C-alpha cells in the first residue's frame, strides 16, 4: 500500500523484519516442543533460543538485505532465512526446522500477522461504533427528510440515520470477529500435511503459544478457503464504508448542505476556485472501498490450489494481505475522525424538510382518507393529483400548499376538512418510534 | 439460470407465482396483526385471508400475466399486485398494506426466498459431506503420492485428501448457516423505516409467523450488507467446489489416471475421437464456480444505496439471487453424485507413487542424516544430488535407484549404510498419523 | 436473463432453436466445401443440404426436446444433434462432420451469435448517440452549474454535459466494433486444431460464407482471450451507462430538480407515498450496469484453459453470453428512451446556478486579482475568505453577495473596484468555447 | 507494488519525484503557450522555465518531503507543489497555473505516465514474442500429444502449441497499443472543462509537446472510460500469461515431465524435500495474473464519477496504476526469461505420445471406417469399444494394442484389414498442415 494510506502500527505487522521475527519464533517454539518430546536434544532447543533470539530481534534493514542475498542463490526464502540464522546459532541450527516444511513456517506466520491485523481492525471498528453512537444520540431527534430514490419521502431523524450505520458496523464487527477466527490456525504438519516427520504435539505446542487453534487437516498449506472468507469479510466492511461515505457526499452537496466534512484552517479546496469546500475525505473513502473490495476476487481464485498445494497464492497474498488490512485500517480511522468532526446543520435540515410544500406527508393523508371510507385507489389518485399540483408550482408566486391542494380535490373535501387534514399530517407522529428503534440497536450495549 | 443447470425444487422458490404467494402471506399476516391491534377492522383481516388466500393460491401463469398487464400501466409491481388482489377481495382490500411500503413486502419476501434457498443448499452440503466421509473412510489407507507444485512430494493417502475436502466443506456449512442467519430478517417499518404509520408489533407478528428475526433498524429496505455477506459465502463455497473439481481433473489426466468420473453406458466423450473419456463434470463444475463467484462483486456494489434507499439493487437481485442459489444447488448436487460414483484406481496410485525411483523419501533421509551428525547444509546437498541423479536417469537402462545413488554420495555412506537408509525410508512412517487427522476431522460428527 | 430485461430480437439469437440452425448451417457449408474438394461425395453434400435444411428450419420446442432426450444418453450435445439430423437425412449423414470436432461447430456458432449480438448493440449505440446529439444541440447554451465533488464549481451548459456523454459513447462504439472484430472468427480445424483430418480450405469456405475471418491458429477451440476482450468491452459500455444514469439520478434529486425522467399517465411512484416520482429507470440502469460488468471476471477466468482445451468455459458462456448481450441491449434501449423523453427544467438550472450568491465566479476573480498584481497566495486567501463569508450567510437576512464581500476585503479593494469585479465575473465568458468543444465532438459526424 | 515484483525502469515512472517533474513540465509548457498568446507576460514564462526547470530537476526525497509538509497544511497536493515551486521561482510564479485547475495537471500527468508505462509493456511484449517465435520454430516439428480435457486427444507439435501463444500475445500487443492510444490524451480545460479561463490553444500546445492527443471534451477530468479500457486490456494480457504459465505447470508435472523451468545451480526446491524441482516461476506468474486482473473491477467502478467529477478515482489510481503496470512488466519479463530457458524433453514427449497404445489415432480410424462404408454410429461404437479395451488393459501383461483390438471388432475387420488400419493411423498425416498454420501466424512478421 502506498505510504499515503498507511498507518504505522498496521504497517509494522507486515514489515520484512517482523516477518522474520515471527518465523524465528515459530522455529524456536517448534524446537522446544521437539526437545520436550526427545526428537532433538534439549540443548539444541536452548541454544536455538538463546543464540537465535537476539539474532532475530536484531534483524534490521541490513539483515533483511543479507537474507535476500542468500535467497538470490537458493531461490527459496525460508532456506535463505534458515541459512542466515544458522550462521549465528552454530551447529545446533541443524536441529531447527526438523521434519518441517516451509509452509509450516509461512502459513503459521501469515496466521499470526492476519490475526494481529484483525485485532487492529476490530479496535478501529470499536472506535467507529463509539463515534457513531455518540453522534446518533446527539441527533436522536434532529428532524431531517428521509429520501428514497433521492426524492423526499417522509421525515426521519438524523440520529436514526446514524443508528442504522451503527447497526451495520456492529454486524461488520461480528463478521470480522468470525473472519479472524477463520484464519487463526497453526499448521506444523510437514510435507503434504501427514506429520510423517513431525509429531502433531509440536503443532499443538506452537499453536498454544501463539494463541492459535490447530488446523485439523492441512495439505501442507492452511486451506485457502479460510483466507478467502477473511478477505470477503473485509470487502463487506469496505462496502459499508462506501455507504456511509456516499451519505456524507450527498449531504454536503451544494443544494443539500445538511452536513459537511470539517474544513481545516489553511485547507484549500481547489487550486483554481477558492470558494470550494469539497467532501474529499468521503470521496477518498469511496475509492479506498473499491480497493479493499478488489482483493476478494483474487482471494477466491487462490482457493483452488493444485493437489496438496501450489504456490500461486503466494504472490497474491504478498500484496493483498498488507494492502487490504492497511487500506481498511486507514479507511476506518479516517471515517471515524470524519464522523466525529462532521459539521451538522439542523436548520438546513429543517429547511429542506419543509421545502416541498408538505407533500412529504402524503402517506399519512392517504391512510386517513382510506380510514374515512375512500377506496385505496381513489384516495391514491386524489393525493397523487394534489401532490403533483403542489410540486409543479413550487417556488412560483401564489403556489398553494399541499394541504390546500388536497382540499381542492372534491373526493377529499367530502370526507375530511382542513382540521382533519392538519391532524393527519401532524409531524410528531413520524418520530413516535424513534426510541423503540434506538432501544433495539443500542440496548445490547 | 439456464434450464440446463436448474433443479426444480430450487427453481420453484424463485417462480413469479411463488413470489406473489409470499407477498400475499406477508400482507395477510400484517393485516391480522393490525386487526389485533385495532388499526383495521377485525372483519377486514378475515375477509382478506378468506377471499385472498384462495386467489393467491390459484395464481398461475395467466394470473401472472394479468398482474404484469396492470404493472405496464402503474409501472409499479407491488401496486399491480395489490390491484389484482383487490379485484378478488372487494372493498376490504383497502385495509391491506395500510401504513406499509413496497419494500416491506419485497424485502421480507426476498428474506423468505433466500432462507428457503439456503435451507436447500445446507441439505446439499450435508449430502456432499456424507459422500466425502464415506469415500474418505473407504480410502483411509489407500496410499497415493502427495504433490506440491504438481511435483511428487511425499506419500499420503487418498482418504486423507478427501478428509481435507470434508473439513473444508464443513467450514462452508458453518459459513452458509451464518449467512442464512444474516438474511433471515423481516422489515415491516413503512416509508424510510420510521414506523410512522405502522406499529412495530405488526413487524414482530409477521416475523414470528415467517420464522424470521426482526430487522433492528431498516431504512425502508433491509440493509444490503446482509445480502453481500450471503453472496460472499456462496462464492467461497463455489471456490471450494472448484478446488475439488480441479483435483479430479488432475487425477483423471491421461498420464495420472488415478481416478475417473463415472462413464455411463451410451456416453460419448467426443464427436470426433471415440477413445475419449473426459472429466466433463468436474470441468463443468469449474465453470459453474466462476459463475457463482461472479455474483459477489455486484452484491458488494449493491450495499451503498443512496440515503434511505434507492432501487439499483433490484435488477441485480432479480438475476443473481436465483442464479447464484440455483447454480450452486446444481453444482453441489452434481459434485455429490460425481464423488459418490468416482472410480478410484488404487493400483495406478501405487504405480505413480513408486515411479520416481524413491526420491519421494528424500525428507526422511535428510532428517536421518542430520540426526546422524551431518550438517543440514551438507545433508541437503548430498540428498539433492542423489535425487537429481535418480530423476535424470529415470526410465533409462541401468538407472540406479535413489537409495543406491545416496550410497554413492561419500558424505552419506560415511554416516549411514544401506540398512540404515532402508529404515529411514520406511514408508509405513508416512501414515502413522492418518488416524489422528481423521479423528480431528470426523470426531465432532 | 430474466424476461423483464429481455428484448425479443436479441433473445432470438440465443434461442436453442437458432443455435441448432446455425450448427446445421456450419455442417452443411463444411460438407459443401468437402464435396468440392472431393473429400466426400458431391451427392452427400447435396442430400445433407436438401434434406437437412428443411429439418433444421423446422426445429421448434418439440425438436429441441427430442435432441435433449438423445443428449441424456450420449451426454454430448453435438453428437445428439448429429444423431437427430441423421434420422432425417439418411445414410448420407455419415459424411457430415467428417474430420471435424464439436468445437468446430460450437465455437464457430458462438462467433456467429456474438457478431449478430454485437451488430444489434452497435445499432443500439447509434440510436443512443442520435438521442444524445439531438438533446445536446437542444441545450447547447442552456446554462447550468458545473459541479465537482458535488459542489458548485463554475457554470457550464447542459448541452456540454451531453456532448461529453456523446463523446464517451462514441468511444464505446469504437470499442465495441473492435470487440466484434475480435470474436468474428471461424475455426474448422479438427481435434487439437491440426487440420489432420480436415482441409484448411473447408474452414476458409465456411468462414467466407458466414462473414467471419479464419482463426489463424486454434487449439481445437477459438482462443478465449478474444471472448474476454469482448466482455471487457461490454463492461466498459455498461460503466458509461452507469455514469449517465447517475447524472440523471442526481439531477432529479428533490433539492436539485433540474431534470426528470418522463412520468407516464397512470404511473405510480410508491405504494405508500402518492407524491413520489422516482428516477426508477436510471436506478434500474445502474443495477443493470453492475450485472453486465460482473461478466468480465468469469470471462477473464475462462482464458487459461488447460492444454489444447478444456470445457470449463462452456457453462460460463452459456450464461454470460446471452445475459451480457441481452442485458446490455435492454439497458441501451432503455437509456435511449429515457434520454429522448427526459424532462429538462432550464429555469431550475438557472435558479441553482445563482443560489450561492455568486461564489461560483471565484476563479475568474482570482485570475483578475493576480493579473492586477496580487500574489497568487494573497489573492487566493482573500477570495476564499469572501467566498466563505458569503456561503455561511446564505439565506440569512441581510446576507451580502460574494461581490460585496470581495469589496470588503482590503487587499481586493485596493486593486479592483466594483466595476472591475463585475467585469471579471461576467458569465458570458464561461460559454465562449462551447462551440469549439461541440465542433471537436460532432465535427467528424 | 512490493519490491519483489518491481523492476526499476517501470518503478521510476511512478516515483513521486518523476511525478512532480512531469507536473512542472506541464505547467511550464502551459505558461509558454500563454505567453505566446499574450495571456501572461513573455518574461514570466521564461522565468518559470529558467528558475523552475532546475528546481524541478533537483527534486529528490528531501524536496518530496518538503512538498508533503506543505500539503499537510493545505490538504491539496497541487497547491502544495505550486507553493514549493513559487519559493524558487519568485513573483513570476503567480503566472503559473493561470486559469487551470488541478485536474489539468494531474490527469495530463497520469496520461504521460501511463503512455510511458504502456511503451515499456509493448517492449516487454516484443521480447516475449521474439522468445516464443524462436522456440516455436525450434520445435516446429517436435511431436507431442495434444490434450483436450487433460486427456490425450491427437498428436500435435510443441511448436504448434507455441505458435498459438505467439498469436495470442500478438493480439495482446494490438490490444495494448489500442489501450495506449485510449489514454494518451491531454486536458488543459480549466474548471468543469469549459476553457472559461484558459484558451484551448494552450491545451493544443501542451498536448503536442508531450506527444498526446487533445481530449475532445473533458469535464474537468479526462473521462475514466479510457482508463477502464486500459486496465481491461492489461487484464486480458494477464489472463494470457496465466494460460501459458498453466501450460508449463502441466508440462512439468511429475507424471508428464515434458518440459521444465530452468533450475539454477544452488537453487533449492524445498526446505524439507531436497528432491524437489518445482515450477515456481509459472506458479508465481499465475498469482501475478490474478493481481493484475483484480484491477479491472475498481477501474470500471471509477467510471461513474459524479457530475463533472469527483475524486473517488484518485485513491484507486494511486494504487492500481503503478501496481498493474509494474506487476505486468515484471510478469512479462519473467515469462520471457522462463520461455527462453525452458528445458524441453522431446524424448519424453514421444514417450507420452505412445503411452496409450495408439488410441490417440481413433479419429483417423473412425473416418476410414465411415469412408469404407460403415455408418457413423456403428463405426463410433466399434472404435470406442476397441479404445476402451486398450485403455483398461494398459500396462497389464499381454495387453493388446489399439490396432489389434480394432481388428478383433467384427464390424471393423469386415471392411478394413491390418494394413489398411496401419495406413489410416499413419502419424505423418497429423503434421501435414503445420507449415500452413505457421505461415498464417508468422507470415505477417
Q: What are the pLDDT digits (tens) for B101-146?
A: 999 999 999 999 999 999 999 999 999 999 999 999 999 999 999 9
Question: Average model confidence (pLDDT) for chain D?
Answer: 95
∠C147-C151-C157 over CA atoms, to 5°? 25
Annotated catalytic residue, options B197, B270, B312, B315: B270
Whether the Cβ atoms of residue B187 and residue B193 lie closer than 8 Å to each other: yes
The three cell numbers locating residue C204? 476458409
Mean pLDDT of D336-362: 95
Residue spans of the domains in chain C: they are 1-98, 100-264+273-355+431-445, 359-424
Q: Is pLDDT of D377 > 90?
A: no
Other residues' Cβ atoms within 10 Å of the Cβ of residue A384: 23
Q: What is the mean pLDDT of residues D363-384?
A: 88
- Each residue's pLDDT tens digit, A22-66: 999 999 999 999 999 999 999 999 999 999 999 999 999 999 999
Mean pLDDT of all residues in A212-224: 97
Is pLDDT of B445 > 60? no
Question: Chain D neighbours among B 352-371 (CB < 8 Å)?
Answer: 352, 355-356, 359-360, 362-363, 366
The more confident residue out of A378 and D285 is D285
Establish if B98 touches chain A: CB-CB under 8 angstroms: yes
Binary contact (B228, A242; C-beta < 8 A): no
Catalytic residue, chosen from C76, C197, C270, C315, is C270
Q: D394, exposed or middle or buried, with CB in 10 Å at 0-12, 13-18, 19+? A: middle
Number of B–D residue contacts, CB under 8 Å: 147
Closest CA to C235 of C227, C339, C248: C227
**Yes or no, beta carbons of A380 and C268 under 8 Å apart:** yes
Sign of CA dihedral B425, B429, B431, B433: negative
Mean pLDDT of D287-315: 98
Chains that touch C (3 or more CB pairs under 8 A): A, B, D
Query: What is the pLDDT, as a whole number, of residue D266?
Result: 80
Whether A290 and D316 lie within 8 Å, measured CB to CB = yes
C285-344 residues touching B, CB cutoff 8 A: 286-288, 290-291, 293-295, 297-298, 301-302, 306, 310-316, 318-320, 323
| Contact criterion met (CB below 8 Å) for D163 and D441 | yes
pLDDT score recorded for residue C428:
82
User: What pLDDT was estimated at residue D276?
Assistant: 86
CB atoms inside a 10 Å sphere around CB C242: 26
In terms of CA atoms, which chain C residue is nearest residue A150?
Answer: C253
In 10 A of CB A439, how many CB atoms? 12
Residue A444 confidence (pLDDT): 62
Spell out which residues of chain D touch residue C291, defining contact as CB-CB under 8 Å. Answer: none
pTM above 0.95, yes or no: yes
Classified by CATH at the fold level, domain D100-261+272-355+432-445 comes out as Fumarase C; Chain A, domain 2 (1.20.200)
Across the interface, which of A278, A294, A311 has its CB nearest the CB of D280?
A311
Nearest to A300 by CA among B294, D282, D245, B172: B294
- What is the pLDDT confidence band of residue B444, given thresholds at 50, 70 and 90? low
What is the pLDDT, as a whole number, of residue C444?
A: 62
pLDDT higher than threshold 60 for residue A16:
yes
Q: How far apart are the CA of C217 and the nearest CA of chain D, in angstroms? A: 6
Does the pLDDT at position D445 exceed 80?
Answer: no
Instruction: For C83-104, give one letter per residue: b (16+ CB within 10 A) or e.
Output: bbbbeebeebbbbbbbbbbbbb
- Active-site hit among B15, B76, B102, B149: B149
Q: Stretch B193-215: mean pLDDT, rounded?
A: 97
Let me know the angle formed at the C-alpha of D101 by D97 and D105, rounded to the nearest 5 degrees. 75
* Catalytic site positions of A: 149, 270
Per-residue model confidence as pLDDT tens digits over B292-334: 999 999 999 999 999 999 999 999 999 999 999 999 999 999 9
Interface contact flag, C149 A279, Cβ < 8 Å: yes
Q: Residue B288 above 80 pLDDT?
A: yes
Contact A203, A188 (CB under 8 A): yes
Instruction: For chain B, say whether A178 makes contact (Cβ under 8 Å).
Output: yes
Contacts of C294 in chain B (CB under 8 A): 294-295, 297-298, 320
Distance CA B67, CA B159 (A): 55
Give pLDDT, residue B125.
Answer: 98
The pLDDT of D41-48, averaged and rounded, is 96
- Spans of chain C below 70 pLDDT: 444-445
The interface residues of chain C toward chain A in range 102-161, judged by CB-CB distance below 8 A, are 145, 147-154
- Name the C residues in 233-262 with CB < 8 Å from any A CB: 249-250, 252-256
Around B175, how many Cα atoms within 13 Å sit in the side-chain half-sphere? 30
Residue among B323, B291, B335, B337 nearest B117 (CA): B323
Instruction: Kindly state the cell numbers that stand for C410.
Output: 482590503
Pure H helices in D139-252: 158-183, 200-210, 225-252
Instruction: Label the pairing between strands C213-214 and C185-186.
Output: parallel
Distance from the C266 Cα atom to the nearest Cα atom in chain D, whole angstroms: 31
Per-residue pLDDT, D115: 98
Percentage of chain B exceeding pLDDT 70: 100
Rounded to an integer, what distance in angstroms lies between the CA atom of residue C270 and that of residue C284? 15
Residue B385: other Cβ atoms inside 10 A: 17
Share above pLDDT 90 across residues of chain D, in percent, rounded to a whole number: 86
Q: Between chains, do C274 and A363 touch, taking CB under 8 Å as contact?
A: yes
Please tell me the distance from the alpha carbon of residue D238 to that of residue D175, in angstroms, as a whole number.
Answer: 12
Contact A307 B147 (CB under 8 A): yes
Domain B359-424 sits in CATH at 1.10.40
- Confidence (pLDDT) at A271: 78
Residue B380 CA to residue D268 CA, distance in Å, equals 9
Give the CATH fold of the B1-98 domain: Fumarase C; Chain B, domain 1 (1.10.275)
Handedness of CA C193, C199, C201, C205 (dihedral sign): negative
* Residue D233, helix vs strand vs coil: helix
Residue D70 touches chain C, beta carbons under 8 Å: no
Q: What is the pLDDT of residues D94-124, one digit of tens each?
A: 899 999 999 999 999 999 999 999 999 999 9
How far apart (Å, rounded) are the C-alpha atoms in residues B337 and A393? 67
Look at chain C and count its residues.
445
- The pLDDT of residue B147 is 97
Minimum-distance CB partner of B192 among A154, A195, A216: A154
Asked whether the beta carbons of residue D249 and residue B363 sit closer than 8 angstroms, the reply is no
* Architecture (CATH level 2) of domain A100-353+432-445: Up-down Bundle (1.20)
Assess if CATH 1.20.200.10 describes domain B100-350.
Answer: yes
How far does C367 lie from chain A, in Å, by closest CA? 9
The CA distance from A398 to the nearest CA of chain B, in Å, is 30
Instruction: Read off the pLDDT of each residue in A118-143 and give the average, rounded to a whole number.
Output: 98
**Is any Cβ of chain D less than 8 angstroms from the Cβ of C169?**
no
Whether the CB of D351 is below 8 Å from some CB of chain B: the reply is yes
Q: In the CATH hierarchy, which top-level class contains the domain C100-264+273-355+431-445?
A: mainly alpha
Summarised one tens digit per residue, pLDDT across range A324-380 is: 999 999 999 999 999 999 999 999 999 999 899 899 999 889 989 988 888 888 898
C270 is catalytic: yes
Average pLDDT, chain C: 95
C-alpha grid cell for residue A385?
393529483
Dihedral class, residue C75 (left if φ above 0, else alpha if ψ from -120 to 50, else beta): left
Amino acid at each position: 500500500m502506498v505510504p499515503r494510506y498507511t498507518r504505522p502500527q498496521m504497517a509494522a505487522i507486515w514489515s520484512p523484519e517482523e516477518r522474520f521475527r515471527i518465523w524465528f519464533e515459530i522455529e524456536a517454539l517448534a524446537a522446544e516442543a521437539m526437545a520436550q518430546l526427545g526428537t532433538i536434544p534439549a540443548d539444541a532447543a536452548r541454544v536455538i533460543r538463546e543464540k537465535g533470539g537476539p539474532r532475530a530481534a536484531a534483524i534490521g534493514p541490513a539483515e533483511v538485505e543479507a537474507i535476500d542475498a542468500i535467497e538470490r542463490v537458493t531461490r527459496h526464502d525460508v532456506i535463505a532465512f534458515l541459512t542466515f540464522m544458522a550462521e549465528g546459532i552454530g551447529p545446533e541450527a541443524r536441529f531447527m526446522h526438523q521434519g518441517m516444511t516451509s509452509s509450516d513456517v509461512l502459513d503459521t506466520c501469515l496466521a499470526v500477522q492476519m490475526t494481529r491485523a484483525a485485532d487492529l481492525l476490530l479496535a478501529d471498528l470499536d472506535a467507529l461504533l463509539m463515534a457513531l453512537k455518540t453522534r446518533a444520540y446527539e441527533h436522536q431527534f434532529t428532524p431531517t427528510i428521509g429520501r428514497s430514490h433521492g426524492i423526499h419521502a417522509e421525515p426521519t431523524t438524523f440520529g436514526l440515520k446514524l443508528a442504522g450505520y451503527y447497526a451495520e458496523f456492529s454486524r461488520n464487527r461480528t463478521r470480522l470477529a468470525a473472519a479472524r477466527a477463520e484464519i487463526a490456525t497453526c499448521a506444523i504438519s510437514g510435507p503434504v500435511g501427514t506429520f510423517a516427520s513431525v509429531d502433531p504435539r509440536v503443532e499443538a505446542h506452537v499453536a498454544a503459544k501463539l494463541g492459535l487453534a490447530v488446523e485439523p487437516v492441512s495439505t501442507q498449506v492452511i486451506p485457502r478457503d479460510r483466507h478467502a472468507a477473511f478477505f470477503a469479510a473485509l470487502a463487506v466492511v469496505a462496502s459499508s464504508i462506501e455507504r456511509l461515505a456516499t451519505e456524507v457526499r450527498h449531504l454536503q452537496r451544494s443544494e443539500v448542505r445538511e452536513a459537511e466534512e470539517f474544513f481545516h484552517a489553511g485547507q484549500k479546496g481547489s487550486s483554481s476556485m477558492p470558494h470550494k469546500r469539497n467532501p474529499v475525505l468521503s470521496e477518498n473513502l469511496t475509492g479506498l472501498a473499491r480497493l479493499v473490495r478488489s482483493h476478494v476476487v483474487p482471494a477466491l481464485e487462490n482457493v483452488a490450489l493444485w493437489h496438496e498445494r501450489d504456490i500461486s497464492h503466494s504472490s497474491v497474498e504478498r500484496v493483498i494481505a498488507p494492502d487490504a488490512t492497511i487500506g481498511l485500517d486507514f479507511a476506518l480511522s479516517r471515517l471515524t475522525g470524519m464522523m466525529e468532526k462532521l459539521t451538522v446543520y439542523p436548520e438546513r435540515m429543517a429547511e429542506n424538510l419543509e421545502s416541498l410544500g408538505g407533500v412529504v406527508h402524503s402517506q399519512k393523508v392517504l391512510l386517513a382518507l382510506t380510514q374515512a371510507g375512500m377506496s385505496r385507489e381513489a384516495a391514491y389518485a386524489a393525493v397523487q393529483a394534489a401532490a403533483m399540483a403542489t410540486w409543479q408550482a413550487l417556488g412560483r408566486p401564489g403556489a398553494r400548499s399541499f394541504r390546500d391542494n388536497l382540499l381542492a380535490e372534491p373526493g377529499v373535501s367530502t370526507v375530511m376538512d382542513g382540521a382533519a387534514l392538519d391532524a393527519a399530517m401532524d409531524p410528531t407522529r413520524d418520530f413516535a418510534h424513534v426510541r423503540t428503534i434506538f432501544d433495539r440497536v443500542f440496548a445490547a450495549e
